[in-house]
Amino acid sequence: MSFDAHQLDEFVLVGAAVTLLAIMAVRLSSKAGLPSLLIYLLMGVALGDSAIGIRFDDANMAHALGFAALALILAEGGITTDWREVRPSMPLGLTLATLGVVISIAVVAVGAHFLLGLGWELAVLLGAVTSPTDAAAVFSVLRVVPLPRRLTGALEAESGLNDAPTVVIVTLIAEGGIHEHAPWTIVGIVVGELALGIACGLVAGFGGAWLMRRAALPASGLYPLSVLTLTFLGYGVAAALHGSGFAAVYVAGLVLGNSELPHRGATRSFVEGVAWLAQIGLFVMLGLLLSPDRITVSTVGLALLGGLILTFVARPLSVLASTVVTRLSWREVTFLSWAGLRGAVPVVLTTIPLAEGVAGAQRLFDLVFVMVVVYTLLTGPTLPAVARILGLARPSDPRSLDLEVAPLEQIAADLMQVRIPSESMLHGVEIGELRLPRGASVSLVIRDGQTLVPETRTALRARDVLLVVVPRTLREQTQRRLEQVSRRGRLAQWLGR
């Protein structure tokens, strides 16, 4: 297949236009409470051979590009995850990603075989590809609903870890390996690949952090590229050793993202942008693979029934079983069950049997595509309401500070921009009464558009903007102190948090 300069010009024109429209659609989807993946998928369908006429039916290329995009998304997920916040929820997230996946596969497979009439191979494949949740889909609709970190941390950990075992299982089934091994052998293969992937991720993460702290690169823009490349080095080494590349890239990103590295802010911004680009390209490509002419009434009916089994039977049972490691209230179990949004991962996983030429793989792709669209439309917009009804959504605190942080790399410090809300108890507090950690200082106050160099007796006012310079090691302590005073006033240290 040739690709000349003229085709490149056309590709750049169409690609730039589609990417720009997709970026603009993010704001529309966030206002509507819908995951942006739905818009991207529909854009791909509209660009396909049944509408505009772009033909794309290469399952092997879709498989390869899909895995590359998922690796980028998982790398971003690891780099932008705060380990201290997700650590308490890690046991629950890991259980959901392992035991929960096994239960979901079993329940969906049995239901698909006896209720949907699928053969056992397709039934197990359907259970395997629909078991993993999608972080991008979940958090795109949850970002406006403040939830306890116990829940968001569990969902975040689950979605970052459950891709790895399901990829191994789907690949074994598609390649016929499931008939050649005993069940305990398959479990051993899955656990072994997952453990090897985690080990490679840890080596790439800690080794890369050691290297980056000692490297003196000539341009700041090279640091984000280096960090992202290190996560992919973990992926590549794990894959070469027959381990889980997805587990490696996520763990490497988690270690690097929580290490004290130069230009951390720039790195996070860069990988977020790359991940958005990967999501857009991934979903549009998957939309191109779908031909609406193949979607029949029977396909829609089977997808609806399969989605009912997954959403109302398999997912709740998976969450209930996972409570063996962490006790949850019935409200938390209900919400976690409803929050098991499926996104790109199930559709990408169906490209594995497509590429392997498994009988019925095209039917499986269409079925999963319809399931993802329909049940994302059902559960996505309702998640905020469900959280409020169950009493899990934390009310917004009118005294909460609006805070932004920029790195000051040359002195290993951060510049905190703190906006004081009108209801804040910081109003009337003098600079000296803040009692910030030694080394942190309020360097500038912006009031009514005018700058003011503060003194110890300078009293703060509502709607002031503070510029606070703080050593990086003291940033969290300084932030906690400012938030305490904002909520409880100058006596916060005695009144408690």
Distance CA 117, CA 112 (A): 6
Token couple for 331: 């409200």
Report pLDDT for 178: 63
Q: For position 252, what pLDDT does the model report?
A: 94
Q: Please compute the mean of the pLDDT values over residues 440-448 and round it to a whole number.
A: 88
Give domain 5-389's CATH architecture: Up-down Bundle (1.20)
Q: Where in the chain is the domain with CATH 1.20.1530.20?
A: 5-389
Residue 301 token pair: 């009916």
Out of 27-31, 229-233, 263-267, 437-441, the most confident range is 229-233
* Per-residue pLDDT at 370 exceeds 60: yes
351 burial type by CB count under 10 A (0-12 exposed, 13-18 middle, 19+ buried): buried
Give 207 or 272, the one with higher predicted confidence.
207
pLDDT tens, residue by residue, 395-440: 555 556 777 777 676 677 888 888 888 888 888 888 888 888 888 8
Highest mean pLDDT out of 197-201, 285-289, 326-330, 336-340: 197-201
Mean pLDDT of the chain: 83
Q: Which residue has the higher pLDDT, 117 or 488?
A: 117
Cross-strand pairs, 466:
418, 445
Confidence at 327, pLDDT banded by 50, 70, 90: confident
Among 54-58, 218-222, 434-438, which range has the highest average pLDDT? 434-438
* Residue 391 banded pLDDT, cuts 50, 70, 90: confident
CA neighbor of 369 nearest in space, from 131, 73, 38? 38
Amino acid at 147: L
Mean pLDDT of 161-190: 78
**What is the model's pLDDT at position 144?**
59
What mean pLDDT comes out for the span 311-329? 91
The superfamily CATH assigns to domain 402-495 is: Regulator of K+ conductance, C-terminal domain (3.30.70.1450)
Decide if pLDDT at 496 tops 50: no
Query: Which residue has 């490209």 as its token pair?
Result: 351
The tens digit of pLDDT for each residue in 132-147 reads: 887 666 666 555 567 7
Nearest to 128 by CA among 169, 177, 183, 179: 169
CB distance 227 to 271 below 8 Å: yes
Position 28 pLDDT exceeds 80: no
Whether the pLDDT of residue 447 is over 90: the answer is no
Give the whole-angstrom CA distance, residue 334 versus residue 234: 36
* Interval 243-259: pLDDT, tens: 888 889 999 999 998 88
Mean pLDDT calculated for residue range 445-452: 86
User: Could you give the CA distance from residue 19 to residue 284 in angstroms, rounded to a whole number?
Assistant: 10
Query: What's the rounded Cα separation, in Å, for the pair 425 and 385?
Result: 31
* Listed residue (107, 244, 91, 66) closest to 163, CA to CA: 244
Task: List, by residue range, all CATH 3.30.70.1450 domains of the chain.
Answer: 402-495
Looking at residue 495, its pLDDT comes to: 45
Rounded-to-integer distance, Cα 445 and Cα 224, Å:
32
- Binning pLDDT at 50, 70 and 90, where does residue 179 land? low
Four-CA torsion 129, 144, 18, 159, nearest 10 degrees: -20
Inform me whether the pLDDT recorded for 356 exceeds 90. no
Q: What are the Cα distances from residue 379, in Å, to 335, 341, 382? A: 11, 7, 5
